[in-house]
C-alpha cells in the first residue's frame, strides 16, 4: 500500500506525473532570509493545469509560484522569483515577522 500523496516526496510525484504524460515544472527554495515557513531545498511540483504538490511557502506566495510555473512550462524558460515582507508591514498581511525567500522555477523533461 502506497503512502497518501500528501506525505510523498514532490520529486517522486513529479516523476510519476511526467511518466503519465504531463508537462511539469519544479519550484525549489534556494535561499531564505529571516522568517521563512519552508527551508532551502523545499520543493513544489506543478503541472500545466495548475495542479501542485509540496510546498515552498504557503498562502499567496504559493499561488504566485504556481502561476509563474505554468508560464515556465509554456515558455521553457526558467526563472528566479523572490518574495519578501518587510518587518514593519508583516503584521498588516497576517505574518508574525518579516522574511524573504528566493525560489527557482524550471521545467522538467
Pairing of strands 79-85, 52-54: unpaired
Which residue spans within 2-51 are E strands per DSSP?
Answer: 24-34, 43-47
Domains identified in the chain, total number: 1
Q: Give yes or no for residue 87 having a pLDDT over 60.
A: no
pLDDT on residue 2: 47
Contact 75, 60 (CB under 8 A): no
pLDDT on residue 68: 96
Question: Any residues with CB less than 8 A from the CB of 8 and at least 6 apart, and which?
Answer: 2, 53
| Mean pLDDT of the residues in the chain | 86
Amino acid at each position: 500500500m502506497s503512502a497518501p500523496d500528501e506525505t510523498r516526496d514532490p520529486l517522486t510525484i513529479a516523476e510519476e506525473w511526467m511518466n503519465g504524460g504531463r508537462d511539469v515544472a519544479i519550484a525549489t527554495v534556494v535561499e531564505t532570509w529571516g522568517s521563512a515557513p519552508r527551508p532551502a531545498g523545499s520543493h513544489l511540483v506543478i503541472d500545466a493545469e495548475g495542479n501542485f504538490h509540496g510546498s515552498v511557502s504557503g498562502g499567496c506566495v504559493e499561488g504566485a509560484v504556481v502561476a509563474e510555473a505554468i508560464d515556465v512550462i509554456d515558455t521553457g524558460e526558467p526563472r528566479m522569483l523572490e518574495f519578501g515582507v518587510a518587518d514593519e508591514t508583516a503584521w498588516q498581511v497576517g505574518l508574525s515577522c518579516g522574511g524573504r525567500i528566493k525560489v527557482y522555477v524550471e521545467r522538467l523533461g
